[in-house]
Amino acid sequence: MQNCCIIIPCYNESERILAAEFLTFVTENPNFTLLFVNDGSTDDTLNLLQKLSEQHAQINLLHLSKNVGKAEAVRTGILDALKNEHYSYVAFLDADLAIPLEEFKRLFELTTANTHLEFTYLSKIRRVDAAVNQTYKRFLMGRILSAMTRLSLKLPVYDTQCGCKLFSKNIASAVFKLPFISVWLFDIEIFWRILTLKNRAYFTTNTLEVPLNKLMDRGSSKVSGKALFKLPFEFLKIHRTYTK
């Protein structure tokens, strides 16, 4: 049985963490471990996560005393997980479970059934037979970023920003070795790093974009208006850095 550590970055998530769902998931799936990374939260998140980690051996907590942002919180968690030889795969998932755990499990089973796959990711592709619920604002922002990313990477990726990605241990150790340029657009950097490490043919044979069957609307985005204003500049910085 293949084992996987799922990194879950948390910043002031005390009102959104569905503790019962996480507990049920690890109880029913002994090959998964959850690593919550508390990113310097100022609310009751740390206390909640401490109690949650005490309830099950497959739930761990990594506390960062200072807020470092989602990109570095995810990177720190993945590097910590990679120290454990028990895991063949590492992943990251948003704490609010807008992407349900059942969707992650489906992605994992599809990946492990195809041993050539080293990087897989869920995608918010709207389909008639899927319940992909998101606000028009999120949908529009996602499509704009997607169009810009396709032009930059020259890869036919529909959605780089979906908050659930899965990596083999080997590719993760290379992708997350160095800090990211961007706090919010580090997902795009993941694609750039893989493209730099490998080649375009690698995306055809060793990666897979998997459409979501279900996406929950968990409320407004945590990206502030100030951060939204910075996104185009962060994107340009990423593009200029990696196209060199």
Buried b (16+ CB within 10 A) or exposed e, 224-243: eeeeeebbeebbeebbeebe
pLDDT tens readout for residues 227-244:
666 788 889 999 999 998
| pLDDT grade for 108, boundaries at 50, 70 and 90 | very high
pLDDT (0 to 100) of residue 220: 53
CA angle 80, 116, 194 (to 5 degrees): 55
The answer to whether residue 224 scores a pLDDT higher than 80 is no
- Average pLDDT over the chain, rounded to an integer: 90
Query: Tokens for 113?
Result: 């059934």
pLDDT (0 to 100) of residue 184: 85
Buried b (16+ CB within 10 A) or exposed e, 38-63: bbbbeeebbebbeebbeeeebbbbbe
Which domains are delineated in the chain?
4-243 (3.90.550.10)
The answer to whether residue 28 scores a pLDDT higher than 90 is yes
CA angle 142, 184, 96 (to 5 degrees): 75
- Percent pLDDT > 90 in the chain is 73
pLDDT tens readout for residues 121-144:
999 876 655 566 656 566 667 667
CA atoms within 13 A on the CB side of 174: 14
Maximum pairwise Cα distance, the chain: 48
CA angle 32, 209, 61 (to 5 degrees): 30
The answer to whether residue 222 scores a pLDDT higher than 60 is no
